[in-house]
């Protein structure tokens, strides 16, 4: 085994995992075998006992393989991410889903961009590209054109989320993480020119994701309103005739193509994905109304639970962050005063406003999540 290189020894890779099917275990184990040659790796595994043991046997010995900490919330991935960040031995951490496949050069590039940021969002691309992955790539292109995609991987500073982590009772946990960092004054950078391959899901899993992905849009009211409008607009165009429908289809293709050509994407993403944008937008228009029905009946299903909230509004997260900061300062002040009003060192690791200075002024985030 090649030793960990010095350039990446000061970073860590965290992979939250919870599998009910081990068909992809050989591929994941082979990837981890390459990965541990570049940097320390922690897999936070919430699978059942039998699969946890099978994973331990299959993974390289250098992988730190642990259970997630018990945390409130029905989104198990959040527990995996927060546990991995708590255990991380380095400040720079790459968090990635089990289907993400970095190479050495892309890992170095995404970590380098943490130099002036708290979170870096690279761009996932499917590899290989079966029909359903090509269809879903149309979604990626529309997202790139309208403000950025939400990948299955991020580079993040270990301390960016704070001791509370982030809310585990939301469906769109990627957005919740980004908003939580921004609410604490952190900087989030898009890296649309860093392309990280990911394995596509099975066609069956892809089909099951359609309403759930539409439900994510409830966290972005303006976007969701636009998606709800798609179906009425298409029906209105159909009444006006084929030319109106053709104009809508061409507009959808042009929007997706703008996303494909952004940041060198034309060299990494096939043009056929842009041609599928009209179909994907029609699908999303239908599923947006299905998401509304799901919301009325208790939320979207994820991991055996129903999650009514897609994500927390940024203003609410800012209020939570401010309240938590005030509580920490009060606790530090009380510990410093001691029981008789005398200076006291307080428990190890307690933040002390006089020793460390006031909380830093928030840095302005570079995007709106």
HEC string for 303-351: CCEEECCCCCCHHHHHHHHHHHHHHHHHHHHHHHHCCCCCCCCCCCCCC
Q: Report all structural domains of the chain as residue ranges with CATH numbers, in order of start.
A: 11-203 (3.90.550.10), 206-307 (no CATH)
Q: DSSP alpha helices (H): ranges in the chain?
A: 25-35, 49-58, 76-87, 104-112, 131-146, 173-183, 203-216, 221-240, 242-260, 272-275, 277-296, 314-337, 353-356
DSSP 3-state assignment of 231?
Answer: helix
Structure tokens at 144: 């790139």
Contact 82, 69 (CB under 8 A): yes
Please give the pLDDT value at position 339: 63
Q: Give me the percent of the chain exceeding a pLDDT of 90.
A: 82
- Report CA dihedral (128, 123, 201, 311) to the nearest 10 degrees: -170
Asked if 39 contacts 8 with a C-beta cutoff of 8 angstroms, the reply is yes
Cα gap 185→328, rounded to integer Å: 17
CA distances from 318 to 170, 183, 258, 301 (A): 17, 5, 33, 28
275 Cβ contact list (under 8 Å, min separation 6): 253
- Give 331 or 87, the one with higher predicted confidence: 87
289: Cβ–Cβ under 8 A, 6 or more apart, which residues?
A: 228, 231
Task: Decide: residue 26, CB within 10 A, 0-12 exposed, 13-18 middle, 19+ buried.
Answer: exposed
| Distance (Å) of CA 167 to CA 154, 183, 302, 304 | 17, 13, 15, 18
Per-residue pLDDT, averaged over 305-333, amounts to 91
Beta bridge partners of residue 119, listed in sequence order:
156, 188
What is residue 366's three-state secondary structure?
A: coil
Local structure of residue 159 (DSSP, 8 states): T
Band the pLDDT of 335: cuts 50, 70, 90: confident
Structure tokens at 70: 């018990």
pLDDT band at 333; cut points 50, 70, 90:
confident
Angstrom CA distances, 347 to 166, 333, 343, stand at: 24, 12, 13
- Compute the half-sphere exposure of residue 93: CA atoms within 13 Å on the CB side of its CA: 25
Average pLDDT over residues 169-185: 97
Task: State the pLDDT confidence band at 354, using cuts at 50, 70 and 90.
Answer: very low
pLDDT for the residue numbered 5: 47
Average pLDDT score over residue span 56-68:
98
Quote the crossing angle between the two packed helices 131-146 and 203-216, to the nearest 10°: 20
- For the packed helices 25-35 and 49-58, what is the interaxial angle rounded to 10 degrees? 50
Is the pLDDT at 2 greater than 60? The verdict is no
48-52, 59-63, 127-131, 334-338, range with the lowest pLDDT = 334-338
Local structure of residue 47 (DSSP, 8 states): S
Residue 76: alpha-carbon gap to chain centroid: 13
What is the C-alpha to C-alpha distance for residues 143 and 233, in angstroms, rounded to an integer?
A: 20
Whole-number mean pLDDT of the chain? 91
Which pair of structure tokens corresponds to residue 188?
Answer: 């989030």
Handedness of CA 52, 307, 169, 100 (dihedral sign): positive
> In degrees rounded to 5, what are phi and psi of residue 206?
-55, -45
The model's pTM: 0.88
Residue 346 has pLDDT above 60, yes or no: no
């Amino acid at each position: 085994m090649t030793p960990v290189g010095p350039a990446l020894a000061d970073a860590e890779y965290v992979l939250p995992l919870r599998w009910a099917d081990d068909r992809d275990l050989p591929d994941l184990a082979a990837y981890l075998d390459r990965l541990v040659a570049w940097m320390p790796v922690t897999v936070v595994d919430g699978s059942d006992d039998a699969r946890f043991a099978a994973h331990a046997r299959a993974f390289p010995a250098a992988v730190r393989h642990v259970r997630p900490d018990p945390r409130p919330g029905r989104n198990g991935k959040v527990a995996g991410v927060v546990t991995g960040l708590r255990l991380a031995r380095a400040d720079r951490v790459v968090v990635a889903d089990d289907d993400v496949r970095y190479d050495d050069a892309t890992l170095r590039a995404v970590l380098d961009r943490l130099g002036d940021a708290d979170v870096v969002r690279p761009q996932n691309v499917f590899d290989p590209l079966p029909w359903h992955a090509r269809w879903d790539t149309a979604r990626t292109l529309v997202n790139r054109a309208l403000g950025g995609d939400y990948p299955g991987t991020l580079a993040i500073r270990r301390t960016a989320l704070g001791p509370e982590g982030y809310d585990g009772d939301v469906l769109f946990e990627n957005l919740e993480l980004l908003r939580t960092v921004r609410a604490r004054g952190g900087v989030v950078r898009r890296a649309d020119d860093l392309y990280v391959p990911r394995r596509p899901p099975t066609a069956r899993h892809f089909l099951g994701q359609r309403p759930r992905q539409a439900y994510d849009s409830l966290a972005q009211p303006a976007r969701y309103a636009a998606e709800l409008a798609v179906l009425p607009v298409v029906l209105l165009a159909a009444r006006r005739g084929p030319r109106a429908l053709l104009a809508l289809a061409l507009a959808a293709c042009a929007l997706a193509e703008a996303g494909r050509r952004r940041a060198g994407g034309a060299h990494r993403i096939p043009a056929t994905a842009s041609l599928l944008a009209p179909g994907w937008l029609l699908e999303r228009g239908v599923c947006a109304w299905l998401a509304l029905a799901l919301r009325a009946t208790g939320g979207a299903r994820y991991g055996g639970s129903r999650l009514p909230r897609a994500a927390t509004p940024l203003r609410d997260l800012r209020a939570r962050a401010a309240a938590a900061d005030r509580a920490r300062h009060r606790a530090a002040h009380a510990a410093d005063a001691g029981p008789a009003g005398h200076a006291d060192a307080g428990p190890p690791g307690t933040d002390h406003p006089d020793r460390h200075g006031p909380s830093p002024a928030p840095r302005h985030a570079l995007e709106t999540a």
